Every structure is written in C-alpha cells, then in structure tokens.
C-alpha cells in the first residue's frame, strides 16, 4: 500500500489543505456540545446570566451584600464599580483575574442572601432536614424581631452582635461551597436575577439575547462544518480520481512493455481486473482516508480532552466503550482479510470465464455446449456471490453492534451522571455535553472500524497492482552504453546464428541451432509441420521473446543491442491470427502512422487484394470496424492485417501464416503484387501450403525445431525428405514434376 501512496505526491498541497479543513471542521464539531451545554445551564437554568457578579446593582443591595464581605473584598468591589445616581455598574475593562476575584468576593454574600430570601419566603424552614445549614440561619433569623427586613434589623444591631451573626452565617454556608462552583452559581442565580431587576435590567431580554447569540453561533458553526464537509468531499474525490488515473496510466504503460512471458504470468483476465476493479478499490479507500481516517483521530482526541475536562471520574466509561470497539475491529479484520483476498481472485475467475465464453461462442454453439458453459459461469458467479454476501453481512452486522455500544454507553453515562448531578458534581447541560463528546469518540472509532472492513480489500488490491508495477520486464532496451545503431550498409538483412530457444519454465528447446540469412529483394519461406517452431522462430526477430542461445542480427546489429522501438519500426509484422481494432477500415490500415495519406492507404489495400470488398462497403474506408474485427470475415480480416503491414513500408516483412484464410486465386494475386512492391525489402513468410512458398528464393524446412533443409523448391524436392513428404501431401505428381 505504501508503494501506491507515492503517487499522491502530486496532490500534496491539496492533501495539506484537506487536513486544514478537517481541523477547522473538528474545532467546530467540538464546540457545538459546549454551546448546547451552555444553552441548558446558562441560557435556561441561569436565565442567560453568565456570572454571579451583577453587571448592575442598586446602592442598597450592594450595602446589604457588603455586610458579609471583608474589607479587602469591599475595597475590590468599590474599585471596580462606577456609581451613577442610585445604580452601580461594573467596570467593563476588568481583566480575567479581577473577574475571578470579584466572583469569589460575591459568592458568600449572594449565597447567604439567597438563603435568607428562601427562609423569609417560607421555601425552607427549621423543620426541613434537607437544608441543615439554612436551618441554622432559620433558627437564627427566628430569634430576631418580626415584621422588619432582616437587613434592617441587622444594621441596627450593636456591632459585636452583628459581627457574631455575620460570622455564624458565613460558617453556616460553607457546606454549600463544597458543592462546586457551578452548583453554587445555580443556587444564587435567582438572587442575582432579582438584584439585576432591582437595578432596572430586563432579565427576560437578557435571557433571550443569550439564547439567540448562542443559537446563532451554533448555526454558524454548523454552516462552517457543512462547507468544510462539502469541500473536503470534493477535494477527496478529486485526489482519489487523480491517483486512480495515474495508477491506471502507469499500470497500462507497464503492461504495454510486457513481453509474452509477463503476460502469461498474470493472464489477460487478471490484468484487466487489476487495471479496473483493483484500482477502483484503492481509489475508494483513498477518498475514505481523506474523509474519515484523517478526521477520526482529530475528532476523537479532541473529544477525549473535552471529556476529561468535563469530568474525569467517568473516564472509565470511555475506556470500556473503546475497548469493546477495538475488540470488535480486530475480530472483523481477522475474519475479513482472507475473504477479501479470495474475493479479488474470484473476480479474476469471473473475468476469465466470461472472456473465454464470449471469445469462444461460435465453438460453444457448434458443439452444443451452451448448458455446460452456463453451469461453469454460474459456478464462478455463485462462488463470488457467496464470498461477497459473507463480507456484506459482516459489514451489515457491524453497524447494529456499534449502535448497541453507542446506546449502551449513553444509558451508562446518564445512569452514572445522575448520581453526579445528585451529588452536585455536574449539571444537566454538562451531562448532555458529556454524552455528545463520548459519541464523538465512539464515532471516531466507528469510522476507523468501517475502514477496517474496506482497508483489507484495498490492501489486497494495492498488493495486486504493486505486483504488476514491481514485475521485472524480461525484454527491455539496452543501456545507453550498450545501445548501437543499425548498419545502413546492411539494411534489411536478417541473420540467425546458432539460435536456440525454450519458453520460460520449459525444460526442452522449441528450436535448436538455427542458422540462416534472409536478404533484401528475396523471399525467405519457413515451412514445416504443426509444432515445428515456425511462429516461434519469426517471433524472435521483433524480440517478442529473447533467444536462449545464439544471436538474431537485424541490419548488422544484434537485436538485443538496439532500441526496441527502432527495431520494430523496421518490421512489418502480420500475426498468424489477424486482429483489427475498433475504428474504421482506414484507421486500421493507417495504424502505424495516423497522418498517413489516403493514397498510401488505398495503395496498401490494393496490394493486399482488399480494395474490392472495401469499395463494396457503403462508407468504403470510413466503414466501422468492431472490436477484434468481428464484423468482417476471416479472409477480409487477414487482408486488412496484411494491408496494415504494407502501409508501414518497412525494411522487413514477416508474414506468420498470414495467407491461410485466402483462396488460391487471391493468394496468388496478393503474392504477385507483393513481390513487385517489396522488391527492395526482405520478406519472411511462414506457411503451411507449398503453393505459397513455391517461388521463394530460400525455403527453410523445420522439423522438431531443427532445420531439416534449406534451398529452393526444386533443390529441396531432391535433397530434403521432410519437404518432399509435405509437397507430396499437397501437390499432384504432375505438379511435383
């Protein structure tokens, strides 16, 4: 997989930008639960009041509160409030440290004031055991005269008695401070609200203002998240598609340079799967990595810090959830990985069977084997379906299990969190935020678990693509030091010097000790029984294979020491099985040169005896040819293949049994036209029919991979028993004489 990732270098800038977008998205995602918590805790429960330090307060209320402040606190308060008539307003330029000190200074007075108000209103009384500290205050207040304000009475008391009562009140509320800062704030917030109302502040508008501002900020963050998600998805798709494009191009270019040895190593069906399905799997997982794998740890780690900042005592719940998910992921990977490897091989198998059936359809119909081939395809299809179903069910099972974990964790948090709320350690909004952050952590692992299903298949695909890219090509261009240029004085001369060859992995030679020379202006024919090595011999000239022993020399240079492109430019090759490309008749003939003139195309068709049937077509040279040339006959396909080689006008022509589909009349006319056109070129013909090679200047007879005789037709009839037997089987006694 790492070898494949190097193709992402071109997209490095885009990937960095995607990471930045993911960081922004994660920041916004992590901010939303806190804003939700604030809306519940501050906006609803606290009426939009963020601090117990009142922004505005009447002089009377301030004097009442200062009864329970020490001198330092009174000085701090007086220094940070500005007086305007009967209203005191807090200085807007105070720093955070001063704000914290002010909050500390107001805590005891507001807590005492809140309890006094509740006692006076009858909300708590001396019989209420739930408020032990306030009961002491209640008992104390019950000893004072009735019908007057507590503060009025307190102010007229002697200083010694007043100080005693104040000290006792402060001691009585110390138990409340152990509930925590947030819970104390919840207790005194009603008192702060009344203080603000006394000072003329519209607390209803204050609450709505807070809710609107918090809601708008949440909406803004949601819009930023949507924007980042859309842009990340677009960039991820672009990066993934670019990687797939580059990989396909690289693999395709590599396959084009494969010799027959490498092609046979993989098979055509497997190479097609690797260029399409495997690369598609890699593309999908790269997009998922950019969207999920990179985002999951950013979100998960951020949410973990937020959770620990909210309440560390419930961190074990997160650990439990993560442990269960990790166990599930490891089990899934252990089961899925072998199946994904098998799945890609089964796709190869379907491609192979499909290709064979479609290619061999005429043979299948001729032998009435349709049912057998249907069963063969059905077997391959069902095997792939069963494996695919297994993997799909595995993925389908993962989601409900993950949801069970998520919902179970939510219930556990609420259950444990309820005890913390009862103890005063947390607020309702904090529990809601805690659940959200925990879900974000679990979702991060859920994203990774989804990747744990997709990643193994992508790794298998990446390894299969890497196999193609890492395969050493057996037939390559020589190094710059070894490369040589053709000898212009030996143009068209082909020499075989003691050449032997065996296929890769074979134990015996296909051809052995072959030596001959083919010259310009002459036709060299190669004839022999089936399997004698005729096609193998001519395939060594353009280096479709490399010789095992000896040398093949073209234009005075060993073919191993020249550039492959230059070598093949000198050769016009017509394979044993004529193959045409999708396009037109004209584009197939002009395959060697897209800028070929119409005159050259028509001349080549005329020599190949193809002009008559071409001109009978409605669009003549613009007539469409289907893939493989399936919409023309075998003879027409062969003549067009010959025309394609003639149009190239090379130094050397190789016809590998290319006249077998032609009738005798067309064969004779074609060879006659060819002889006059190629009088300065070297012509090498592989043939089965004696009539095709009768007038060749040199006939090489192969028998079991060795030369049984060399000479003209007459010479071989006299000197070569193998040739005589072939000729006797095809010609009458009169024709032989």
Per-residue pLDDT tens digits for 163-182 = 777 777 777 676 666 666 66
Q: Which of 140-144, 332-336, 439-443, 446-450 has the lowest mean pLDDT?
A: 140-144
CA dihedral of residues 474, 475, 476, 477 (deg, nearest 10)? 150
Give the separation between CA 605 and CA 639, rounded to whole angstroms.
8
Backbone angles phi, psi at 600, to 5 degrees: -65, -40
Sequential DSSP letters for 235-270: HHHHHHHHHHHHHHHHHHHHHHT--HHHHHHH-HHH
User: Over the stretch 636-674, which tens digit does the pLDDT of each residue have?
Assistant: 888 888 888 888 888 888 888 777 767 777 777 887 887
Mean pLDDT of 257-262: 76
Residue of 125, 250, 91, 109 lying closest to 169 (CA atoms): 109
- With bands split at pLDDT 50, 70 and 90, how would you rate the model's confidence at 619? confident
Q: How far apart are the first and last CA of the chain?
A: 70
The vertex-624 CA angle with 618 and 629, nearest 5°, equals 120
Better-predicted residue by pLDDT, 472 or 425: 472
Q: Looking at residues 398-408, what average pLDDT do you find?
A: 77
∠ CA 409-415-418 to the nearest 5 degrees?
Answer: 130
Q: What is the pLDDT of residue 294?
A: 83
pLDDT at 310 over 80: no
pLDDT-derived band at 487, boundaries 50, 70, 90: confident
**pLDDT tens for each residue of 271-301:** 887 888 788 888 888 888 888 878 888 888 8
Residue 507's pLDDT is 79
pLDDT at 143: 56
Give the mean pLDDT of 70-90. Answer: 85
For the packed helices 96-121 and 71-79, what is the interaxial angle rounded to 10 degrees?
Answer: 110
User: Where is pLDDT greater, at 452 or 289?
Assistant: 289
Query: Per-residue pLDDT for 142 more than 60?
Result: no
CATH code of 256-470, in short, is 1.20.1560.10
Rounded mean pLDDT of 498-507?
A: 83
pLDDT band at 245 (very low <50, low <70, confident <90, very high): confident
For residue 134, the model assigns a pLDDT of 45
pLDDT digits (tens, 9 = 90+) for 348-359: 788 778 877 877
Strand order of the β-sheet with 571-574 is: 571-574, 652-656, 682-687, 523-528, 698-703, 706-711
Is the pLDDT at 397 greater than 90, yes or no?
no
Return the domain boundaries, the chain: 56-200, 256-470, 578-649
pLDDT number for residue 181: 65
Give 118 or 237, the one with higher predicted confidence. 237
Structure confidence at residue 130 (pLDDT): 38
What CATH number labels 578-649?
3.40.50.300
Residue 221: pLDDT band (50, 70, 90) is very high
SS3 at position 94: coil
Distances (CA, A) of 424 to 175, 421, 427, 718, 725: 12, 5, 7, 117, 110
Whether residue 146 has pLDDT greater than 80: no
At residue 226, the pLDDT reads 92
Q: Phi/psi at 405 (nearest 5 deg)?
A: -60, -45
Average pLDDT over residues 569-575: 86
pLDDT higher than 90, residue 216: yes
- pLDDT tens track for 371-388: 888 888 888 888 888 888
Q: Do domains 256-470 and 578-649 have the same CATH topology?
A: no
Mean pLDDT over each residue of the chain, to the nearest integer: 80
Phi, psi of 332 (to 5 degrees): -60, -45
**Would the pLDDT of 546 be above 90?**
no
Reported as a pLDDT band with limits 50, 70 and 90, residue 220 is very high
pLDDT for position 329: 72
pLDDT band at 131 (very low <50, low <70, confident <90, very high): very low
Q: Other C-beta atoms within 10 Å of 593: how many? A: 12
Distance between CA atoms of 621 and 596, rounded to whole angstroms?
13
Report yes or no: 192 and 20 within 8 Å, Cβ to Cβ. no
Provide mean pLDDT across the span 59-84.
85
**Whether the predicted pLDDT of 309 surpasses 80:** no
β-bridge mates for residue 346, sequence order: none
The confidence score (pLDDT) of residue 79 equals 85
| Position 565 pLDDT exceeds 60 | yes
């Amino acid at each position: 997989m790492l070898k494949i990732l190097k193709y992402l270098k071109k997209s490095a800038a885009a990937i960095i930008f995607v990471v930045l977008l993911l960081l922004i998205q994660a920041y916004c995602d992590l901010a939303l639960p806190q804003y939700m918590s604030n809306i519940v805790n501050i906006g609803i429960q606290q009426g939009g009041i963020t601090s117990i330090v009142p922004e505005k307060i009447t002089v009377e209320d301030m004097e009442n509160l200062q009864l329970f402040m020490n001198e330092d606190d009174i000085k701090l308060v007086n220094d940070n409030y500005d007086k305007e008539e009967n209203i005191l307003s807090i200085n807007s330029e105070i720093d955070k440290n001063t704000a914290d000190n002010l909050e500390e200074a107001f805590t005891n007075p507001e807590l005492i004031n809140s309890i006094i108000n509740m006692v006076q209103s009858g909300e708590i009384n001396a019989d209420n055991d739930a408020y032990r500290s306030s009961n002491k205050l209640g008992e104390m207040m019950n000893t004072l005269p009735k019908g007057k304000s507590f503060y009025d009475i307190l102010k007229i008391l002697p200083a010694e008695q007043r100080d005693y009562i104040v000290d006792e009140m402060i001691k009585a509320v110390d138990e409340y401070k152990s509930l925590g800062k947030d819970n104390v704030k919840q207790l005194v917030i009603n008192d702060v609200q009344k203080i603000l109302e006394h000072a003329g502040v519209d607390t209803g508008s204050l609450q709505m203002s807070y809710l609107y501002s918090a809601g708008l900020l949440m909406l803004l963050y949601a819009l930023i998240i949507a924007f980042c998600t859309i842009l990340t998805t677009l960039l991820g798709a672009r990066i993934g598609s670019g990687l797939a494009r580059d990989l396909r191009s690289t693999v395709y270019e590599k396959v084009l340079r494969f010799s027959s040895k490498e092609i046979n190593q993989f098979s055509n069906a497997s190479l097609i799967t690797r260029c399409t399905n495997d690369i598609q799997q890699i593309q999908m997982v790269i997009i998922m990595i950019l969207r999920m794998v990179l985002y999951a740890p950013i979100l998960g780690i951020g949410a973990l810090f937020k959770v620990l900042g909210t309440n560390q005592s419930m961190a074990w719940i997160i650990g439990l959830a993560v442990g269960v998910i990790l166990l599930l992921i490891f089990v899934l990977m252990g089961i899925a990985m072998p199946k994904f490897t098998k799945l890609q091989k089964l796709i190869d198998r379907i491609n192979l069977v499909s290709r064979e059936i479609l290619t061999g359809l005429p043979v299948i119909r001729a032998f009435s084997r349709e049912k057998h081939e249907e069963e063969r395809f059905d077997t391959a299809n069902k095997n792939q379906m069963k494996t695919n179903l297994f993997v799909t069910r595995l993925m389908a099972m993962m989601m409900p299990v993950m949801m069970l974990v998520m919902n179970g964790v939510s219930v556990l948090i609420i259950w444990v969190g309820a005890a913390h709320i009862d103890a005063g350690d947390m607020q309702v909004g904090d529990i809601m935020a805690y659940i959200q952050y925990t879900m974000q952590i679990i979702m991060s692992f859920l994203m990774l678990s989804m990747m744990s299903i997709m990643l193994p298949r992508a790794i298998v695909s990446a390894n299969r693509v890497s196999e193609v890219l890492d395969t050493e090509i057996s037939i390559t261009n020589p190094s710059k030091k070894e490369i040589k240029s053709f000898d212009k004085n030996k143009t068209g001369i082909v020499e075989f010097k003691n050449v032997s060859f065996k296929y890769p992995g074979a134990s015996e030679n296909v051809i052995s000790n072959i030596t001959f020379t083919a010259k310009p202006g002459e036709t060299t024919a190669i004839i022999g029984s089936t399997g004698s090595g005729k096609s193998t011999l001519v395939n060594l000239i353009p280096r479709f294979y490399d010789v095992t022993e000896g040398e093949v020399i073209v234009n005075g240079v060993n073919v191993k020491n020249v550039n492959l492109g230059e070598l093949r430019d000198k050769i016009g090759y017509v394979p044993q099985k004529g193959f045409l490309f999708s396009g037109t008749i004209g584009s197939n003939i002009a395959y060697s040169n897209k800028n070929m003139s119409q005159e050259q195309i028509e001349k080549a068709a005329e020599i190949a005896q193809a002009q008559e049937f071409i001109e009978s077509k409605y669009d003549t040279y613009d007539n469409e040819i289907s893939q493989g040339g399936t919409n023309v006959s075998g003879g027409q396909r062969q003549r067009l293949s010959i025309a394609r080689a003639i149009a190239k006008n090379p130094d050397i022509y190789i016809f590998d049994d290319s006249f077998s589909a032609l009738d005798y009349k067309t064969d004779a006319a074609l060879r006659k036209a060819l002889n006059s056109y190629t009088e300065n070129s070297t012509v090498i013909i592989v043939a089965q029919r004696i009539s095709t090679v009768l007038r060749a200047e040199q006939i090489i007879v192969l028998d079991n991979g060795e030369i049984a005789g060399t000479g003209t037709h007459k010479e071989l009839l006299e000197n070569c028993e193998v040739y005589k037997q072939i000729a006797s089987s095809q010609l009458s006694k009169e024709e032989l004489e």
